[in-house]
Structure 1
Amino acid sequence: MALTARQSSPHPAGADTDHGYTQELHRGVGSFSSFAAGFSFVSILTTVFQLFALGFGLGGAAFFWTWPAVFVGQLLVALNFAQLSARWPISGAIFHWSSRLAGTVFGWMTGWTMIVGQVITVAVAAIAVQAVLPAIWDGFQIVGGPGADPSIASPTGAANAIVLGLIMLVATTTVNILSVRLMARITSFGVLVEILGAIVLIVILFLLPQRDASVLFTTTGRVGTDPYLFAWLASSLMAAYVLVGFDSASELAEETHNPRRTTPRTILRALTFSGLGGALLIVGAILAAPSLTDGQLSASRRTRVSRSP
């Protein structure tokens, strides 16, 4: 919450008698910035391809159908979050909602669960940065230099993930400390670039099909011989990993214009756009891949690197 401190003596009209200054709430986050908060957390261009190999390797081409299944389940969650954010549009979102609905003890437990989840998310973000940036430019491979193995499973890749993750944390924390409005602007710009990039990539993939959509009803490309139902269910972990964080807009509710109306809509939009965009990326990748059976789509990056000359 952004507050302006105005020292007063002793208790002027409108002053907070507990703190000695007038509290003012500055709502500087607009509708698109609120949407960007949720969409950027999902970040389909990064997360879809980060775990694509896991889903495809377990379920083959038909693993795509775990995506709409998980999306429907998450949509039910999003509808609940939208309702709660309209009722209590305050920072702390899930923590405060739980406290008001089930009592302070349950809210305390929920708050700690969220903290643990955020710690894990930070670690995953570091891995995601390592999986993407060195592939774009080898100069991002700081540990060991451009010629070092950038795969997460390698010593140089794992160490570099820590370095890049720390740099990212320092940068994002600094921006958040400086200004919520600055953070919202940077996030909005990044999301706009990601949306445009996703559209371009989807168009390119669908313009270069190697097979028709009927392959989505087959297990082509699957690795392993375990009972397919269990393997298919396990492949849904990919979608479950991606389609989270859309409720981040609720964390900015106190900074958002007309939050009771804006925040519920942006939560649902963030999930809907992420779900649609992710589905098109998965389908496009499966249809445009040169081969579904050569092991490349289900191989880890370490395997691909080690096989290269």
Structure 2
Amino acid sequence: MTETAPPVTPQSSSSPADDEDTRLAQFGYTQKLDRSVGRLASFAIGFATISATTAVFTGFGAGYFTAGGPFVWTLLLAAAVFVIWTLIAADLTAKIPLAGYAYQWTSRIHGSMLAWFAGVLALAGWICGMTGVGFILSGYLGSLFGWNMGQTSQILVAIGVMAVCMLINLYGVRFATMVNNIGVSLELVITVGATILVAIVAFSSPDNHQSVSVLFTGGTSDGSTPYVLAWLAASLGPFFGLIGVEASADIAEETVNARHVIPRTMFYALTASIVIEFGMYVVYVLAIKDQAAVAAATAAPIEEIMTQQVGPVISKIVVAVALTNVLACILANILVATRLTYSMARDNMLPFSHIWRHVSPSNRTPTYAVLGIFGLSTILLLSALVSEKAFFLILGLSSLAVCAMYLLQTIAVLIAGRRGTIPTPEPGTFDLGKARVPVAVVAAICFTLVCAALIFLPQFAGNGYVFLGLLVLATLWAFTGLRKRLATGEAGPDFSKTHLA
């Protein structure tokens, strides 16, 4: 069953530009969350969710040893795709500034059933992504402190990291964004500064760095895979590194003047991330002096490269600071995932929605949604004790699930354009206008190709089965519980008006 929502009539020009609570009421919701996020925090959330440092620290080894130096150029391929997606995301958030954008945008312009699948895909992507980052962060912590960790120890440390991020989120969005701002500031100053230092030392002598030609000549690790397939597989890291550029849209109900602020901060976060990430990839590829040592340091290749150039003391200091950036990335992912959970539960779209939509009166935080996300992440981490292969297949779902959500959103935009269900823009807000359809067509083609690559490339064998399993579970709930709720008005965008007012 698919129902379409009518266009939202824009607020009259007589209302204050920042009266977002009144605007929220137009969508049928009462303001419950803490609207305290400003421009800097909005930028920081998007930047932290992307997190250039996290992308480089977690994806460098796989990219370099899959396709060699030329893997750095896959970032430009990813950047082009995400510029297109950011145009669409900015267009929608300026018109529908609601928490849980992955669900809400599709629900408002197309219908609740397609929105259910978009929301589930995004939720799976965020949870798998932040769990994977937490697991990798625990490996860096072990290297930093000299711990001889086995798999069980690494999993327990990862659970501890997720628990810290969970507690910060429980305390409230003001504290969470403050910690996130600190992490982003450290990333912009310390991590970027350290990369510049490594570049200066590496290029001080021809013996300290690889030739620039390594950026244009690569090979596969097994020598048999066609290089173009290896190069495309290596693009997973850069694509993963830019996912979440639109994350600031998920805290739209906690952002002051959201319709104007968030579209701008999306582009600022994307631009800063592309520049920093590309610079770091290039510098660390060229700064490799001992390839065998870097290959052996599978848990922390960037730390090994830094040690080769500036010594172990500076390397450990920089890695320690960089880990705060990775922590900020996890923190931002939890923030985004919990707001999506809360938004879907508010429309009664989830099993046990009455639990997940609860907001603490004191902290103004969706308490049980935060606890639920932490619980799911913990279960995923513990699954590695049962089957390590299954664990990594589930983590590999993160990029595929989110890119599939982007594809569904783009298809919804194309359909909504024909139906006329995209809200009219307010004066002074971002609007694609006539460019919306061609941009969405290009985006749909791009995300279809990305999803196909993440399913069919040999390096991602097994991803398709996990993805299919997720769709089966989502479909089961859609037709056993959700369909009846939607048919009787017990779920969907009008549920809050009729049941929660």
Superposition TM-score tier, normalisation by shorter sequence: 0.7 to 0.9
RMSD: 2.3
Correspondence 1:169 to 2:162? yes
Residues 169 and 176, structure 2, Cα contact 8 Å, conserved in 1:
yes
Correspondence 1:67 to 2:75? yes
Q: Hey, what does 1:301 align to over in structure 2?
A: 298
- Any residues of structure 2 matched to 1:198-237 within 5 Å, and which? 198-207=191-200, 208-209=202-203, 210-219=209-218, 222-225=220-223, 226-237=225-236
- Check 1:102–1:161 CA distance in 2 against 1; reply closer, same or farther (3 A cut): farther
* Alignment match of 1:137 (pick from 121, 141, 145): 145
Q: Hey, what does 2:134 align to over in structure 1?
A: 126
Give the C-alpha shift of residue 276 in structure 1: 0.9
Residues 53 and 299, structure 1, Cα contact 8 Å, conserved in 2:
no
Identity, % of aligned pairs? 28
CA distance in 1, matches of 2:86, 2:266: 7
- Check 1:302–1:86 CA distance in 2 against 1; reply closer, same or farther (3 A cut): closer
Correspondence 1:82 to 2:90? yes
Residues 79 and 242, structure 2, Cα contact 8 Å, conserved in 1:
yes
CA distance in 1, matches of 2:192, 2:158: 27
Residues 143 and 300, structure 2, Cα contact 8 Å, conserved in 1:
no
Q: Hey, what does 1:268 align to over in structure 2?
A: 267
CA distance in 2, matches of 1:48, 1:192: 17
Q: Hey, what does 1:7 align to over in structure 2?
A: none
Residues 50 and 131, structure 1, Cα contact 8 Å, conserved in 2:
no
Q: Hey, what does 1:142 align to over in structure 2?
A: none
Q: Hey, what does 1:45 align to over in structure 2?
A: 53
Q: Which has the higher helix share?
A: 2
Moved more, 95-104 or 208-217: 208-217
* Number of aligned residue pairs: 266
Residues 129 and 161, structure 1, Cα contact 8 Å, conserved in 2:
no
CA distance in 1, matches of 2:47, 2:230: 29
Residues 93 and 250, structure 1, Cα contact 8 Å, conserved in 2:
yes
CA distance in 1, matches of 2:267, 2:300: 38
Q: Tell me, which stretches of 5 or more residues in structure 2 are unaligned? A: 1-21, 23-29, 204-208, 302-501
CA distance in 1, matches of 2:92, 2:100: 12
TM-score after normalising by structure 1: 0.79
CA distance in 1, matches of 2:49, 2:176: 13
CA distance in 2, matches of 1:181, 1:32: 12
Give the C-alpha shift of residue 30 in structure 1: 1.1
CA distance in 2, matches of 1:160, 1:130: 9
Residues 58 and 133, structure 2, Cα contact 8 Å, conserved in 1:
no
CA distance in 2, matches of 1:266, 1:161: 35
TM-score after normalising by structure 2: 0.50
Residues 46 and 132, structure 1, Cα contact 8 Å, conserved in 2:
no
Moved more, 195-204 or 87-96: 195-204
Deviations 1:15-35 (A, max 9, x none): xxxxxxx95775211111111
Structure 1 segments of 4+ aligned residues over 6 angstroms from their partners: none
Residues 70 and 217, structure 2, Cα contact 8 Å, conserved in 1:
yes
Deviations 1:195-243 (A, max 9, x none): 11222122112212314433311116x4222211111111111111211
Q: Tell me, which stretches of 5 or more residues in structure 1 are unaligned? A: 1-13, 15-21, 139-145, 151-155, 305-309
Residues 104 and 115, structure 2, Cα contact 8 Å, conserved in 1:
yes
Q: Which has the higher contact order (CA 8 A, sep 6+)?
A: 1
